[in-house]
């Protein structure tokens, strides 16, 4: 077993030494990965990246002394990250949790030594779950969730690699294995005597059934956040029953899931599954009052049903799937000859979170050699979008039935809602916004002054990371009035697209106007919290 581990370690180390940039150099970085209290950490994963060549990295494992070595490095900037099960992932030069580390600058031929990282242990959250009378409740499943932003909308998601825990006879729980971050705690009825806890739906700390009202808990390095106590919210729950049918009217045993409606919560919570029957029947139990969206799917067909739950059971619902719509048309190039390469992606950008597939990505158009295209299996209201355009080109307009539908929300799902002869017009009059950030701020955000354009998939918003010299480049914004600002950090995922975040930036941003094909240069100084 030991020989196998040594061989595996050697193999990973050899593979990790593939050149990070295209041309290897003669510099090196060496160091050790240790625990905060001093002992070395063997077999920790060490990852070396170059900020100037994203996506390309070297990975190696530390030896028994916690040592690692990267050789044949060209001069440049690098980031170094260490990971080990049971420990917090940490970047070299990282002073505080939730903040970035410091890049390592090396010169040609330099041998940088003692680039060490000390890893803290994981954090944990502990507390008690009680009923409305303050009595402990045993066997309640307690989970840690995090708020992510997808397309500018808040989503609650289970934290990967962190197991849910159950309360003991004293109602106590402890969820561990947490990286530094902001978390939401939820409690739900698990394998317990349902008669003793009837009327308790999923409850979020500090005691709400609305995910948008959940209070976030900050966990730092090795933090043991205790006394996170809360009471289950007693409400009159209900059952939801119904059946699923295909677009042709055939009953089928579907994958059926449900989650709170975004319209009522302002946040998209995780979906829960139903008990599905072979005859197409389904049932959700212990459902709290509120608005929900139920999704059924079979193959490429998907259907949704919005339902409002009060204090009574909701029965005899029918969720019918839709066959999907097809969009066909042609790409037209305005201002020059078509490019040689078909570097083009046309997609439907969902416009309603409640009528968006719970899982999976939107379909993508098939682009043919003659620049005609076909987009199939489109379901739900969406805006047609050019997700990727050929170099030097940008979207000018989208014509549907002779009408400009560039930013229009179009209903899809049935054959009658299919579109033909759609014109996707691209232009070589590309706007460009360039400049320099005078301080250490690493990001530039540009967004429309008109708040009506702050929506998921909007082409009126863009963000760019600055170069080591502070330079930035944002292209292909449509003509219009914009707000531009430099910031040091952006929210995780694409949280910078959230209207709330943009609203905070707007008063301090620079206002500019972009005309068709215009290039503008700005000098920005970043804002600080």
What is the DSSP secondary structure assignment for residue 3, as one 8-state letter? H
Last residue of a domain, one of 270, 290, 319: 319
Query: Across residues 494-500, what is the average pLDDT?
Result: 81
Query: What kind and span of H or E run contains 502?
Result: helix 499-505
Does pLDDT of 153 surpass 70?
no
Lowest mean pLDDT among 166-175, 330-339, 394-403, 428-437: 330-339
pLDDT of residue 285: 84
In a shared domain, residues 374 and 471: no
Q: Which of 458, 465, 337, 457 is nearest to 393 (CA)?
A: 337
Does pLDDT of 130 surpass 80?
yes
Q: What is the CATH number of the domain that holds 492?
A: 2.60.40.10
Question: What is the tens place of the pLDDT at every residue in 336-372?
Answer: 888 887 789 999 999 988 888 877 667 889 999 999 9
**What's the longest Cα–Cα distance across the chain?**
75
In a shared domain, residues 346 and 369: yes
pLDDT of residue 55: 59
**Residue 412 preceded by cis peptide, ω within 30:** no
In a shared domain, residues 287 and 361: no
- Residue 243 in any domain: the answer is no
Q: How confident is the model at residue 199 (pLDDT cuts 50, 70, 90)?
A: low
Query: Across residues 37-44, what is the average pLDDT?
Result: 93
Lowest mean pLDDT among 18-32, 168-182, 464-478: 18-32
Q: Please give the mean pLDDT across all residues of the chain.
A: 86
pLDDT of residue 21: 45
**Residue 206 preceded by cis peptide, ω within 30:** yes
pLDDT of residue 262: 80
Residue 268 belongs to domain spanning: 252-319
* Rounded Cα gap, residues 296 and 193, in angstroms: 30
- Residue 237 in any domain: the answer is no
In a shared domain, residues 212 and 263: no
In a shared domain, residues 103 and 160: no
Last residue of a domain, one of 280, 303, 319: 319
**Under 8 Å between Cβ of 329 and 421:** yes
Lowest mean pLDDT among 59-63, 81-85, 194-198, 355-359: 194-198
Last residue of a domain, one of 427, 458, 477: 427
pLDDT of residue 399: 97
Give one DSSP letter per residue of 179-209, joined into a string. Answer: PSEEEEEEEEE-SS-GGGSTT---EETTTBS
Lowest mean pLDDT among 10-24, 207-221, 392-406: 10-24
pLDDT of residue 360: 67
| Most confidently predicted of 155-169, 282-296, 472-486 | 472-486
Query: Across residues 210-234, what is the average pLDDT?
Result: 89
- Residue 503 in any domain: the answer is yes
In a shared domain, residues 23 and 104: yes
In a shared domain, residues 104 and 28: yes
In a shared domain, residues 100 and 146: no
Give the bridge partners for 295, in sequence order: 257, 304
Q: How confident is the model at residue 3 (pLDDT cuts 50, 70, 90)?
A: very low
Lowest mean pLDDT among 48-52, 129-133, 429-433, 521-525: 48-52
* Rounded Cα gap, residues 360 and 8, in angstroms: 34
Give the bridge partners for 182, in sequence order: 218
Query: Across residues 246-256, what is the average pLDDT?
Result: 86
Query: Across residues 96-103, what is the average pLDDT?
Result: 78
* Rounded Cα gap, residues 466 and 523, in angstroms: 12
In a shared domain, residues 364 and 285: no
Question: Between 290 and 59, whose confidence is greater?
Answer: 59
The residue written with tokens 């916004």 in the block is: 433
Instruction: Provide the 3-class DSSP secondary structure of residue 213.
Output: helix
pLDDT of residue 20: 46
Does pLDDT of 317 surpass 70?
yes
* Rounded Cα gap, residues 506 and 510, in angstroms: 8
Q: Which of 396, 384, 336 is nearest to 516 (CA)?
A: 396
Q: Which of 413, 154, 150, 192 is nearest to 286 (CA)?
A: 192
- Decide: pTM greater than 0.75: no
* 206 Ramachandran zone, left/alpha/beta (phi>0; psi -120 to 50): alpha
In a shared domain, residues 422 and 468: no
In a shared domain, residues 222 and 307: no
Give the bridge partners for 266, in sequence order: none
Q: Which of 18, 116, 126 is nearest to 72 (CA)?
A: 18
Total domains present in the chain? 5
Instruction: Provide the 3-class DSSP secondary structure of residue 423.
Output: strand
pLDDT of residue 10: 36
- Residue 469 in any domain: the answer is yes
Burial (0-12, 13-18, 19+ Cβ within 10 Å), 466: buried
**Under 8 Å between Cβ of 400 and 330:** no
Does pLDDT of 521 surpass 90?
yes
Token pair in block for residue 492:
């995780």
Token pair in block for residue 439:
């301080």
Q: What is the CATH number of the domain that holds 284?
A: 2.60.40
- Torsion over CA: 18, 20, 23, 25 (sign): negative
- Residue 244 in any domain: the answer is no
**Under 8 Å between Cβ of 119 and 33:** yes
Query: Across residues 382-397, what is the average pLDDT?
Result: 93
- Residue 353 in any domain: the answer is yes
Distances in Å between the Cα of 258 and the Cα atoms of 202, 249, 293, 298, 303 are 13, 22, 6, 15, 12
pLDDT of residue 238: 85
pLDDT of residue 512: 96
Query: Across residues 72-80, what is the average pLDDT?
Result: 90
Query: Across residues 369-395, what is the average pLDDT?
Result: 93
3-state secondary structure 15-69: HHCCCCCCCCCCEEEEEEEEECCCCECCCCEEEEECCCCCCCEEEEECCCCCEEE
- Residue 241 in any domain: the answer is no
Token pair in block for residue 313:
């059971």
- Residue 239 in any domain: the answer is no
Q: How confident is the model at residue 529 (pLDDT cuts 50, 70, 90)?
A: low
Instruction: Provide the 3-class DSSP secondary structure of residue 504.
Output: helix
Q: How confident is the model at residue 221 (pLDDT cuts 50, 70, 90)?
A: confident
In a shared domain, residues 509 and 459: yes
Number of C-beta neighbours around residue 370 at 10 A: 9
């Amino acid at each position: 077993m030991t020989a196998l581990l040594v061989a595996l370690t050697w193999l990973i180390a050899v593979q990790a030494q593939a050149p990070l940039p295209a041309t290897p150099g003669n510099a090196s970085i060496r160091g050790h990965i240790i625990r905060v209290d001093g002992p070395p950490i063997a077999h920790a994963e060490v990852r070396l990246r170059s900020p100037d060549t994203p996506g390309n990295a070297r990975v190696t494992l530390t030896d028994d002394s916690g040592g690692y070595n990267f050789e044949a490095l060209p001069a440049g900037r690098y980031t170094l990250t260490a990971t080990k099960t049971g420990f917090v992932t940490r970047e070299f030069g990282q002073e505080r949790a939730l903040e970035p580390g410091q890049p390592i600058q090396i010169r040609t031929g330099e041998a940088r030594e003692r680039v060490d990282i000390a890893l803290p242990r994981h954090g944990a959250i502990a507390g008690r779950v009680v009923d409305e009378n303050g009595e402990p409740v045993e066997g309640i499943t307690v989970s840690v969730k995090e708020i992510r932003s997808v397309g500018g909308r808040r989503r609650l998601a289970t934290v990967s690699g962190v197991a849910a825990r159950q309360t003991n006879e004293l109602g106590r729980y402890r969820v561990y294995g947490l990286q530094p971050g902001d978390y939401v705690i939820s409690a739900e009825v698990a394998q317990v005597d349902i008669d003793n806890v009837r009327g308790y739906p999923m409850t979020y700390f500090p005691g709400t059934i609305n995910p948008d009202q959940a209070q976030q808990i900050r966990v730092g390095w090795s933090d043991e956040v205790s006394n996170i106590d809360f009471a289950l919210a007693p409400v009159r729950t209900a059952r939801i029953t119904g059946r699923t049918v295909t677009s042709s009217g055939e009953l089928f045993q579907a994958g059926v899931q449900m989650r709170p409606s975004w319209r009522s919560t302002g946040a998209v919570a995780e979906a829960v599954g139903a008990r599905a029957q072979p005859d197409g029947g389904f049932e959700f139990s212990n459902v709290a009052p509120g608005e929900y969206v139920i999704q059924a799917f079979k193959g490429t067909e998907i259907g949704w049903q919005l339902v409002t739950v009060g204090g009574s059971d909701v029965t005899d619902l029918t969720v019918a799937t839709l066959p999907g719509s097809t969009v066909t048309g042609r790409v037209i190039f305005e201002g020059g000859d078509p490019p040689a390469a078909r570097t083009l992606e046309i997609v439907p950008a969902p416009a309603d979170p409640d009528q968006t597939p719970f899982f999976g990505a939107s379909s993508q158009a098939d682009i043919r050699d003659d620049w005609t295209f076909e987009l199939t299996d489109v379901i739900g209201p969406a805006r047609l979008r050019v997700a990727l355009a050929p170099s030097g080109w940008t979207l000018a307009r989208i014509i549907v039935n002779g009408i400009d539908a560039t930013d229009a929300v179009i209903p899809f799902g049935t054959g009658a809602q299919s579109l033909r002869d759609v014109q996707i017009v691209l232009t070589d009059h590309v706007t460009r916004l360039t400049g320099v950030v005078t301080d250490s701020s690493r990001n530039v955000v540009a967004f429309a002054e008109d708040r009506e354009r702050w929506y998921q998939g909007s082409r009126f918003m863009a963000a760019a990371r600055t170069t080591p010299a502070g330079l930035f480049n944002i292209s292909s914004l449509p003509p219009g009035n914009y707000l531009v600002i430099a910031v040091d950090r952006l929210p995780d995922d694409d949280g910078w697209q959230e209207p709330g975040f943009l609203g905070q930036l707007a008063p301090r941003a620079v206002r500019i106007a972009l005309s068709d094909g215009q290039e503008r240069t700005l000098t920005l100084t970043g804002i600080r919290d």
